[in-house]
Amino acid sequence: MIKKISKEIKHPKKLIVKKRTARVTKHASKPQIYKSWLTKAEQNPIISPKSENNWESWQTFNPGVILLNDKIHFLYRAIGEDSFSRFGYASSQNGFIIDERLTSHVYEHNTNTSLFHYASFASGGSWGGSEDPRLVRVNGEDVLYMVYTVCDHGLRMALTSISINDFLQKKWEWKSPILISPPEELHKNWVIFPEKINGKYAILHRIIPNIEIAYLDDLDFNQDPFIHSLHLSTPQKNNNSGKCWDKQIRGPGAPPLKTKEGWLLFYHAMDHDWSKYKVGVMLLDINDPTKILHRAKNPVLVPDELYENNGFKSGIVFVSGAVIKDENLLIYYGCSDSYVSVAYANLNIFLEALEKDVEPKLKVKMLKQK
């Protein structure tokens, strides 16, 4: 049945991208000019499907990322010839060039049902499996948590973990996953804060019409097995200026980043063109992240490149990972549900623009890399 269905699915042809040198170098000869909120790397996409690996021969996208030992580690979603969604591993020292990529997948969610689910296909092109990982380390614990979407009696949220040591040594001893959203409810895009809030683990599960966070003593879910959240996608009304680009908010993107000004949160939304995903950003209060301090009036990332419009689903930019490295903000996102790319900015310039509610002006700034 899988083979019969897969023949009817149009999957992206391999995108040929000219290899270029990364913009960030240890001794940059030219200053970098900031032209917008985020600059897309010239060597994008940085991860593409590999035809020689059956499990990732069609699509590679929506990565979870974590910065450990000054290296950026990726778990990216991959779909291959069996139309099943799994996670692959890659890493990068400078954040722009992939130095290592494993030939076998490192995580697979085994569901309790063998039935195909259309909701999973609509959310990325697979007929089941694990989708869109978000990685986080809380308060420097020796545990790496992963929240992801899974096709198991609906699109639900799942949680697993692995020790930091096992992860770095590539011993994929994942803890048995827990389904943390109720059955037969459609939920996606939940994220864990990388620090406890008032002594509690915090899971952000809803941002419309208000930001809602579940505060937990632990992440075992022994007492209450589910986080109860209402999935809304009701279009927003125009703001005071009479214009609202994020008419349809889909949910948070990468786990929040802690900055000196507050929690930096990227989110997915659509405007009047319902076929395209764009990315917005907001700054949340450091002690009470249900309070929005600042919110960009315009999207900070839009699908305007070839690799963002030439894949399984055109017009998609989907941020699922972000880190702060060497004073630079690095944003990792899926492109057209087929590739992985990176965009970047100087963190201080980005925050200053967000607080002033204006797009960054042209500035000459050297990007530093240690």
Would you give the end-to-end CA distance of the chain in angstroms? Answer: 51
State residue 357's pLDDT score: 75
Tell me: the pLDDT tens digits for 89-144?
Answer: 999 999 999 999 999 999 999 865 555 565 666 666 677 889 999 999 999 999 99
Instruction: Please report whether residue 2 resides in a domain.
Output: no
Instruction: Please report whether residue 229 resides in a domain.
Output: yes
Instruction: Please report whether residue 234 resides in a domain.
Output: yes
Range of the domain at 152: 29-365
**Under a CB-based contact definition with an 8 Å cutoff, are residues 151 and 128 in contact?**
yes
The beta-carbon contacts of 303-309 under 8 Å, at least 24 apart in sequence, are 303/276, 303/277, 303/278, 303/335, 303/336, 305/40, 305/44, 305/335, 305/341, 306/15, 307/15, 307/17, 307/44, 307/45, 307/335, 307/336, 307/338, 307/339, 307/341, 308/335, 308/336, 308/341, 309/336
The per-residue b/e assignment along 212-222, b for 16 or more CB within 10 angstroms, e otherwise, is ebbebeebeee
State residue 151's pLDDT score: 80
Instruction: Please report whether residue 11 resides in a domain.
Output: no
Tell me the C-alpha to C-alpha distance, in Å, between residue 348 and each of 29, 150, 328.
22, 36, 8
Instruction: Please report whether residue 81 resides in a domain.
Output: yes
Instruction: Please report whether residue 5 resides in a domain.
Output: no
Residue linked to tokens 């492109």: 335
State residue 343's pLDDT score: 98
Range list of β-strands (E), 137-247: 143-151, 155-163, 178-179, 191-192, 201-206, 212-216
**Under a CB-based contact definition with an 8 Å cutoff, are residues 120 and 177 in contact?**
no
Residues of the chain with pLDDT under 50: 1-35, 240-242, 362-370
Domain count, the chain: 1
- What CATH number is associated with residue 83? 2.115.10.20
Half-sphere exposure of 144 (CA within 13 A, CB side): 23
State residue 250's pLDDT score: 76
CA max distance for the chain: 58
Type of residue numbered 232:
L
From CA 157, how far away is CA 149, in angstroms rounded? Answer: 5
Q: The whole model's pTM is what? A: 0.86
Instruction: Please report whether residue 8 resides in a domain.
Output: no
Instruction: Please report whether residue 67 resides in a domain.
Output: yes
State residue 19's pLDDT score: 38
